[in-house]
Structure 1
């Protein structure tokens, strides 16, 4: 009942089948990356592809046709906004001509393709088939000669042309090609993955800093991106790349993908700051954290950055839990199995189920009479059009796509566990 009510409400606020990030309770104000309008949807998560994935997962768990219809509407919104190149930009503007650029930033194009391919496994639709074929042909065509993917496509004649790991750009491209290889019989996808895996191995920096940079130029050298993103070794990028190497090993069973990981994990452990976090950018040669403000102004600490940069960008990050889980995953893959008894597994699963059940009760109780989950006292940037953000915030109750996706995922997980 709660699942149906929540999905019916969210489907009712769609714009041409698509979604933005936040809505005011009266639906008069809408936000994506900043204020938006009634003719615009977001391609980046938690927008249209992510909401579509939520609908699709609910359909797969329950078999309810109305959930599939909602997922199809989200897919058609994306298809309508797919440009001639075969990809997407950050947003789709239904009252403007289609864009002429493909963005691989923040899982934008990649997330759209993943959702469309997942839906394609459930329905037979010629529009969907054509869109996916066009998108995957673009993925192969846009891959750089050395195996990476750029930040944007086609060439922009600036840093957007560089191979970009920032915000998991290349990692998400590899994920798309792994999914395509699973779903469709085309050797081009396997060849693309081989090129990408080779690039991952070649782009690892040498000891004593065997991690990866956020961006690489055509000579595989760490490169500047924006004025506050210097050439450097990046712990978070390194962690993501380790997981992608494990994905490639599990796909191919080629041990070459495991070889870079030991040294990278050791370097990550050694690079933790005294405050328990990791610098986003570590200087090549010294391993010291780098702090650059806008206009490439280097300062010595987080506190010396401008308010806008200090609060608007993660110069220091906590990757401790992700590092631990990645190390555990590597150990499982490398040593084939964990030494956990069956009884321990059963007990652990019982505890997990009880915790999940309590969480589900909270989610159901928090759904209001209209079928909305409200993000209470949501804090967000107070922006003035045409001006750089001054560090000020607004706080109010809003409808949140991220909260919707999270709660739908939990409800579906609960239903799946009951099935099993």
Structure 2
């Protein structure tokens, strides 16, 4: 086995990693684990959170077992390393003709090969280097295998769904179905999602809005329910499950919105998945209201058809809060050495701090030692230049909100 030829490796990739057999093995593994963990337990004793953790541990065991068998097959003890890449270095709005090109076919082939046995993908994968090899890790991150961070998993699902529609690729179709079932399996009983699944501990287990993790998932589910052409081929049962997942996601988003003196405002980067209370992440990412994530959720909510009164209240609350905490008279200057300095700039385009203290709406800044500060210049040089403490992202969202608001008021005015 030590001296596999390129020819034998090709057939190994084609047959050993065929998505259909892998799905079957996954189903058998899960059924065995479910029978083992539920045996002798009456339904009245069923705890959805315990079942979720059992499911996570089962999926992690399957991933470990898959990699162990591959390593045994190639007579190697440690996994082959994975180079750093840019998982999403393709244009999702590219013409259909590009999705039929050899470049897109190569990308799809590599993408399918890096899908974990649980159904998700890691981030920053080197698709440009070709398919994953037997015995190679599923990503560069040693403490987790698949994630929703930085657009991972959802970008792959969207790409492969469109690739399947335009090329009739069964491998892409199977990967999309497996990816969507991964979305369902990883959803918390409360309706949110962790950043990483199977669970990896620490802040990764929080219900995560950071960098669009949950909003990317919810937007995908909204698109599918709205009849997006790339997903017309999904079977009825899966569509129904995804629709229910979407409803639970919207419910938990509304339930986790933070109130200030009983007035709806925004959201934190992370929330406790059980209590929905705001949660911290890395040492410099404190419990706070986050302008970036709140604006992303606002974009999601105004995209929903026929919003309920609760959704409308949520929209008005976050839009009002974003307008309240904007800065119209400062800018952030970047120095030659990479440092960032806040300067007075009357009449400047609006910007927002990334984090705001929940009780006071004062901007917050954090350092690697866990210390909190009210001024950017008070934190270390490394953190000043290494994190986006101010941003203009909410401005475009608020512009879209104003157009949505005007359109809605016009519709209401003309409705008998």
Contact 2:266 2:318 in 1 (8 A): yes
Contact kept? 2:264, 2:314, Cα under 8 Å: no
User: Is 2:85 the counterpart of 1:42?
Assistant: yes
Residue of structure 1 aligned with 2:122, choices 80, 86, 89: 89
In 1, Cα distance between the equivalents of 2:244 and 2:359? 35
Q: Which residue of 1 aligns with 2:186?
A: 142
**Is 1:243 aligned with 2:243?**
no
Residue 368 of structure 2 is matched in structure 1 by 294
* Counterpart for residue 231 of structure 1: 287
Partner of 2:346: none
What's the offset of the Cα at 1:337? 5.5
1:308 matched to 2:382: yes
Do the aligned partners of 2:322 and 2:394 also contact (CA within 8 Å) in 1?
A: no
Q: Deviations over 1:19-68 (max 9, x none)?
A: xxxxxxxxxxxxxxxxxxx96363543x2xx35x36xx23x2xx478x53
Equivalence for 2:109: 76
Query: Residue in 2 aligned with 1:129?
Result: 173
Is the 1:332–1:338 contact (alpha carbons within 8 Å) kept by the matching residues of 2? no
Q: Quick one: distance in 1 between partners of 2:215 and 2:355?
A: 19
Q: Which residue of 2 aligns with 1:116?
A: 160
1:210 maps to which of 260, 265, 289: 265
Q: Which residue of 2 aligns with 1:259?
A: 313
CA spacing shift, 1:295–1:64, aligned 2, 3 Å: closer
How far off is 1:282 after superposition? 0.5
What's the offset of the Cα at 1:324?
3.5
Q: What is the CA distance between 1:215 and its match in structure 2? A: 0.3
Q: Distance in 2 between matches of 1:256 and 1:121?
A: 36
- The Cα offsets for residues 156-208 of structure 1, whole Å up to 9 and x where unpaired, read as 22110111111011000112222333323420010000000101110111134
Corresponding residue of 1:156:
200
* Mapped partners of 1:177, 1:87: distance in 2: 16
Shift, 1:320, TM fit: 5.6
Offset of residue 73 of structure 1: 1.5
Contact 2:296 2:397 in 1 (8 A): no
Q: Structure 1: which 5+ residue stretches go unaligned?
A: 1-15, 17-37, 340-420
SS of 2:377 mapped into structure 1: helix
Note the 1:333-412 alignment, pairs <5 A: 333-336=407-410
Structure 2 distance, partners of 1:329, 1:146, is 32
Matched-pair contact (CA < 8 Å) for 1:42–1:91 = yes
CA distance in 2, matches of 1:71, 1:41: 20
**Structure 1 residues 221 and 121: alpha-carbon distance in aligned structure 2, compared to 1, 3 A threshold:** same
Alpha-carbon displacement from aligned partner over 1:244-278 (angstroms, at most 9, x marks no partner): 1122x22x654542221112111111112352421
Number of matched residues? 292
2:241 aligns to what? 188
The structural deviation recorded for 1:338 is 12
Question: Relative CO higher for 1 or 2, CA cutoff 8 Å, sep ≥ 6?
Answer: 1
Paired residue secondary structure (2:245): helix
Could you tell me the TM-score, scaled by structure 2's length?
0.65
Partner residue of 2:138?
98
Q: Secondary structure of the equivalent of 2:279?
A: coil
Please give the alpha-carbon distance, in whole angstroms, between the structure 2 residues aligned to 1:211 and 1:119: 36
C-alpha distance 307-187 of structure 1, shift in aligned 2 (>3 A): same
- CA change 1:72–1:255 in 2 (3 A) is farther
Comparing 208-217 with 328-337, greater Cα deviation is found at 328-337
**Unaligned 5+ residue runs, structure 2?**
1-12, 14-80, 127-131, 331-349
Deviation, structure 1 residue 328:
2.2
| Matched residue, 1:373 | none
Q: Taking structure 1 as reference, are residues 255 and 157 closer, same or farther at Cα in structure 2, changes over 3 Å only?
A: same
Aligned mate of 1:282, from 328, 346, 356: 356
Q: In structure 2, what is the equivalent of residue 33 of structure 1?
A: none
CA–CA distance in 1 between the matches of 2:123 and 2:216?
15
Structure 1 residues 92 and 318: alpha-carbon distance in aligned structure 2, compared to 1, 3 A threshold: closer
Quote how far apart the aligned CAs of 1:307 are. 1.8
Contact 2:138 2:145 survives alignment (8 Å):
no
